[in-house]
Chains A and B, each alone.
Chain A
Amino acid sequence: MRAENILELKNLSAGYGPECAVADVTLSLRRGEILCVVGESGCGKSTLLKAVQGMEPRLRILEGRVVLDGKELQSLPEKERRKECAERIGMVLQNPGGAFNPIRSYRKQFIETLRSRGAYEPAAFEDRAAEALKKLGLEDCRRILASCPYELSGGMNQRVALALTLLLGQEVLLADEPTSALDATVQLQVAKEFLRLGEVSGVSQIVVTHNLALAGFLGDRIAVMYAGRLAELGPAKAVTASPRHPYTRGLLAAIPTLAGRMPAPLPGQPPPGGPVKTGCAFAPRCPRALAECRSAPYALREASPGHFTACLREKGDGK
């Protein structure tokens, strides 16, 4: 039976040593959904993606589970787990084309990748590649396949990376700041391709970004991370229009607008050591913190239907 959620993280803690960088994250990715994860640098959003992808050798899952389509990945033998992840989960990095060899043609790299999965069919390759590229608005298949990543623009390389996800038939795409290195105009084009990828093939996506405006444009839901934990999780419109955590409000106030309002930076710095053991990690920077905020155990509570917050002061009425 098909699981309702393609991916589930259950109380996941992960880190590069004994200390965790991500703590107690419980999240689900619905089929065909785009979930955006936002937060400042160092909040653990990229670590979360790497923990799901499971290809970073130094990163260890300290607690919790990753469940892909009903299958618990940690319970699989290492070889099988890696195979499962590689076959079903695609990854797009911040550096456009960074996942490819810059001086090797896309044709050779596509064929190599397909071959490594035993999915290369020489007769059908050209048509299938053209179809995948076309779905992402890239008509000139021959020229693109003959090009090396260094010969194409950043936006073009990001689209080719998305096309590879389609070609491989991967069901989950993890994207780490996929538009941060691009110009504003190209950024919007690439963001639209992410939407198109979901529409044409139903690929479920987790997109990590520090840009709440992009998350609002792209995401069905937004998860806001602070110091390794989820601060807020909810429908994208609700999170951007009526945030339920003071940190999210701070992030929104820090975005410059065309109207020319000078953005307000969040006061202070995130805690240096990652997730805190007790109390709310944001309390020292929070204008509304109470004494109990510094001692109460961490928990995500549902403030309104489908909208969760870790803030103690957020009541059901949104006050």
Chain B
Amino acid sequence: MSLLEARDISKSYRRNGLRTDALRDVRFTLDDGEILGIVGESGSGKSTLLRLLSGLEKPDRGEFLLDGKPLPAKRTKEQYRAIQMIFQDAPGSFQPRRRVAASIREAVKSLCGRAAEPDLDKLCALVGLSPDLAQRYPRELSGGQCQRFAIARAVAASPRILLCDEITSALDVSTQAQVLRLLADICREKHMAALFVSHDLSVVSCLCSRVLVLYEGSLVEEGPVRRVIGAPEEAYTKRLLDSVLEVR
């Protein structure tokens, strides 16, 4: 049995009186400890999929199954805790007028109960930052430091699945490499699964074992990363591959 299963998920939005399909009958599975990549351009539905999974929005049709049990429209605290999201704009995902440590503490308390107290020193060590930095405000940290704290906040509630929405797109290459390694290490050590959304196939290639390709809300290709990159079946996947710039 898969850890997570998405069954024919569809979602549409109304804009200027017109209905736009953001996702059409998307189905996939995610296994325990697996990092699954999702690639596609802006508007392909990748972020919508993560928002639905995190419970921020509800699908129009279809359902998600966690451990084989459907996730209800109104989730329990335990179900919310099991799936945690990390956003692209890490500084923007923290309360700007609160110290980072307080934001992490607040997140843990809201998910695990008021009595819960995160071990900040341990969390900081996990993401390779000094505990002193957690006493700063988000604006006093670099983008990379904020993203590490965002990972710490997501991991603090001991989730089973991490949803990563373009988490390295705003970082420079060296910081991106740090964050990718950190995520891979954490998932391996804690046996956590992750859905890793990116428009960059090379980033997905080095982190994920399997990849889904989304195009205009539909799943057009899926398979092991090596196969999809080595022998893509869909024209759209080929186009994505052709757009990757590599140092020659």
Contact = CB atoms under 8 A, between A and B. Distances in A.
Interface string A146-164: 0000000110000000000
B16 to A, nearest CB: 11
A212 interface: yes
A211 interface: yes
Contacts of A211: 173, 245
A258 B178 contact: no
Contacts of B184: 262
Nearest to A211: B173
Secondary structure of the A contact surface, majority rule: loop
Interface string B124-149: 00000000000000000011100000
A40 B172 contact: yes
A184 B244 contact: yes
Contacts of B247: 212-213, 216, 240, 252, 255
B199 A184 contact: yes
Nearest to B42: A183
Nearest to A191: B245
A207 interface: no
Interface stretch (B73-81, B114-122, B200-208): B200-208
B233 to A, nearest CB: 17
Contacts of A264: 177
A265 B246 contact: no
Contacts of A259: 205
Nearest to A154: B42
Nearest to A253: B177
Contact of B41 (A183, A255, A257, A266): A183
Interface in A232-291: 240-241, 250-252, 254-266
A211 B173 CA distance: 7
Contacts of B243: 184-185, 187-188
A71 B48 CA distance: 53
B143 A256 contact: no
Contacts of B171: 41
A214 interface: yes
Contacts of B248: 216, 240-241
Contacts of B170: 180
B12 interface: no
B241 interface: yes
B41 A256 contact: no
A251 B246 contact: no
Contacts of B175: 40-41, 265
A263 B206 contact: yes
B173 A258 contact: no
Given A41-B143, A42-B142, A184-B243, A258 B201 contact: yes
Contacts of A263: 173, 176-177, 180-181, 206
A211 B169 CA distance: 11
A287 to B, nearest CB: 15
**Best-surrounded residue of A186, A250, A255, A264 (most CB of chain B within 10 A):** A255
A210 interface: yes
Given A184-B200, A185-B240, A257 B143 contact: no
B226 interface: yes
A208 B133 CA distance: 29
B162 interface: no
A258 B241 contact: yes
A1 B97 CA distance: 57
Contact of A254 (B144, B174, B225, B244): B174
B41 A210 contact: no
A212 B248 CA distance: 11
Contacts of A187: 243, 245
A159 B248 CA distance: 26
Contact of A214 (B229, B239, B245): B245
A255 B173 contact: yes
Contacts of A153: 42
Given A42-B142, A240-B248, A265-B181, A257 B173 contact: no
Given A184-B201, A211-B173, 14 more contacts: A186-B41, A191-B245, A241-B248, A250-B174, A251-B174, A255-B202, A257-B205, A259-B205, A260-B226, A263-B181, A264-B177, A265-B174, A265-B175, A265-B178
Q: Which are the 8 A-B pairs with shortest beta-carbon distances?
A: A263-B177, A210-B172, A265-B177, A265-B178, A185-B243, A254-B177, A213-B245, A188-B243
27 contacts: A41-B143, A42-B142, A153-B42, A184-B200, A187-B245, A188-B245, A211-B245, A212-B247, A240-B248, A251-B173, A254-B174, A254-B177, A256-B180, A256-B202, A256-B205, A257-B205, A257-B206, A258-B229, A260-B226, A260-B229, A262-B180, A262-B181, A263-B181, A263-B206, A265-B174, A265-B175, A266-B174
